[in-house]
Structure 1
Amino acid sequence: MAVRETHRDIDRAASEWAARQDRGPLSPEEDAVLEAWLRGDPRRRGALLRARAVSLMSESAQALGPDFDPETFAEPRRPRLSRRGMLTGSGAAVAAASLAAFGLVSSAAGAVISTERGEIRLVPLKDGSTVLLNTESRIRVRYDEGRREVTLLEGEAYFSVARDERRPFVVEVDGRKLRTAQAGFRVRKLDKAPVDLLVSQGRVDVSAAPLFGAGKVLVVSANTRLALADAVHPSAERPRPIAPEAVTRDLAWRDGKLAFEGETLGQAASAFARYSDTRIEIRDPALAREPVTGLFAASDPVGFSRAVAQVFDARLQKDGDTVVLSRGAQPPAAAQ
């Protein structure tokens, strides 16, 4: 009886194929062997796409570091904050200057801080907490002697909260209050989707939606996510535990990366659209349903598309700010 390959066996073979492709074009015989290998197990295409992603983008490969595990995408814990618009420096004087630059010591109405498409920004707060803003996000910060309050107006933010026994840290989003003494958590508010909370460290108390009883509190602990109900999304609110490696993938954007584990190419294309003016258009419905696995630079949809085209035997066309992926008999007008 044939022995089923392990994920590690497949990843090892995929890495070897990616290395061969990097050395130069495969011979017709090698192409035939590769195609036969890919057809042998549905997991192999995803593994090769992952290996190609690492080898095609040297910056991503270096950023993975020595702790990279291709099965879990477990990245080094230390964040790498090098994207445009991030604050840098050290010491209290630099932090104070940054706060003044953002207007965080101004009016009671609070300072509004935002990011543009493709920008990730680290915002230090006066108590030692920080907010990391993802692409196209806006927050309002209100700090005084009696409160620490941040309102997420739109987009996505990761909060690292320093303990302050006198003042709980409160994030307000769509009229709901998320309260903690000390935690690390992500809040996402995007159009046509319920507000999503993911707690990676500590505990966050969430005020219940009015339709589920005013005054009630939901407790969300580490490695748990919660979709917040509202009038548009009135489903019952149930905190859902998730695996630590899934938390790591969900938060890969903090390092300028997008991590996929079985999402369709169509879903991946939508994720890239948040970070770049370059759009990925998939004209073959069957191709759009193909699962994708890998870690990619969020700002490089073209590099992602090249990896997809190579692994899934698709064609790539560049039409202005659109990258078109297709399969079929007709030749492209301007293949690249």
Structure 2
Amino acid sequence: MAVRETHRDIDRAASAWAARQDRGPLSPDDAAALEAWLRGDPRRRGALLRARAVSLISESAQALGPDFDPETFAEPRRARLSRRSVLTWSGAAVAAGSLGALTWATSAAGAVISTERGEIRLVPLKDGSTVLLNTESRIRVRYDDGQRHVTLVKGEAYFSVARDERRPFVVEVGGRRLRTAQAGFRVRKLDDDPVDLLVSQGLVDVSAAPLFGAGKALAVSANTRLALADPGHRSAEQPRPMAPEAVTRELAWRDGKLAFEGETLAQAASTFARYSDTRIEIRDPLLAREPVTGLFAASDPVGFSRAVAQVFDARLQREGETVVLSRGAQPPAAAQ
């Protein structure tokens, strides 16, 4: 009876194939052997894509360290609190690439801080808290003697809140108030999607903003995600616990990375569009539905597309600011 390969066996083989591809074009015999290997188990394509992602973005593998596990994308396991963990809690862990740190002082009316597409900005607050703004995001900050108040106008932000016994830290978003004494949490507000809260450390109380009336606060603890309903439909909200490695994947953008775990190629292309003017267009509906797994640089949609093209036997073509992925017949050339 044949023994079923483990995920780790597949990952080792995928890493070996990725290394052989990096050394140069495969011979016809090797290319045929790779195709036969890929057809042997549906898990192998995802494993090769993960291996190619690490190979194409070597700095990602170096940052994740020797204990990187491609199945979980968890950070390296350490027996004690590391410098990286301390920096993350204090809000000083910054993203690679186009990251700017902004020092500022608020007036009584507050200050508006924003990022452009592809920009990630670390905002130190005067109480020791920090806000890490993701691409195309905007916040309004107002501190007074009674509370520390931030409004998320749009986009995505990770808050690392320093303890202040006299003043609570309040984030207002979409008619809701998120209140904490000390926590690390991400809030996302994109277009018409529900506001998304992910608490990685501490405890956050969620309630309606004063304009929408009083109500019982919902406590959201660490490693928990909550999609915020409209203020009038709070009873439908259900906090969802998440594994620590899933939280790490969800927050990979803080390091300038995008982590996918089974999303379709079309969904991945949409996510990359938040970070770059270069668009990924998929002209084959079946290819668009292929699942994607891997860790990629948010600012490198072309590198991502190359990895996808190699793993899924697709054709890559540049048309101005668009990267076209296709299979089957050769697409018509762009008009000159």
TM over 0.5: yes
Check whether the contact 1:45–1:311 (CA below 8 A) recurs between aligned residues: yes
Percentage of matched positions with identical amino acids:
86
Deviation at 1:306, TM superposition (A): 0.4
Corresponding residue of 1:56: 56
**Which aligned pairs between 1:19-168 and structure 2 lie closer than 5 A?**
19-76=19-76, 78=84, 79-87=93-101, 99=103, 102=104, 104-106=105-107, 108-168=108-168
1:250-265 mapped onto 2 (5 Å cutoff): 250-265=250-265
Secondary structure, aligned partner of 1:172: strand
2:190 counterpart residue number: 190
Name the residue aligned to 1:16: 16
* Amino acid in the other structure paired with 2:71: E
Q: Deviations over 1:241-278 (max 9, x none)?
A: 01111100000000000000111000000000000000
1:296 counterpart residue number: 296
Distance 2:8 2:268 in 1: 24
Cα distance in 2 between the residues matched to 1:194 and 1:157 = 15
- Match of 2:236, SS state, is coil
Q: Does 1:271 align with 2:271?
A: yes
Point out the more displaced range, 254-263 or 199-208. 199-208
Read off the aligned partner of 1:229 and give its amino acid letter.
A
User: Is the 8 Å Cα contact of residues 184 and 201 (structure 1) preserved in structure 2?
Assistant: yes
Supply the distance in 2 between the matched residues of 1:209 and 1:151 (Cα, whole angstroms).
11
Letter paired with 2:159: F
Flag the 1:281–1:233 CA change in 2: closer, same or farther, 3 A: farther
Q: Distance in 1 between matches of 2:50 and 2:68?
A: 12
Report which stretch shifted further, 288-297 or 233-242.
Answer: 233-242
Q: Secondary structure at the match of 1:11?
A: helix
TM-score (normalised: structure 2): 0.90
Counterpart in the other structure of 1:207: 207
1:58 Cα offset (Å)? 2.2
2:237 maps to 1:223: no
The amino acid across from 2:254 in the alignment is R
Aligned partners of 1:315 and 1:332 also within 8 Å: no
- In 2, Cα distance between equivalents of 1:219 and 1:44: 41
What letter matches 1:284 in structure 2? D
User: Separation in 1 of the partners of 2:294 and 2:27?
Assistant: 26
What stretches of structure 1 of length at least 5 have no aligned partner?
Answer: 88-97
Matching residue's letter, 1:84: S
Consecutive unaligned residues in structure 2, runs of 5 or more: 77-81, 85-92
Name the TM-score, length of structure 1 as normaliser: 0.90
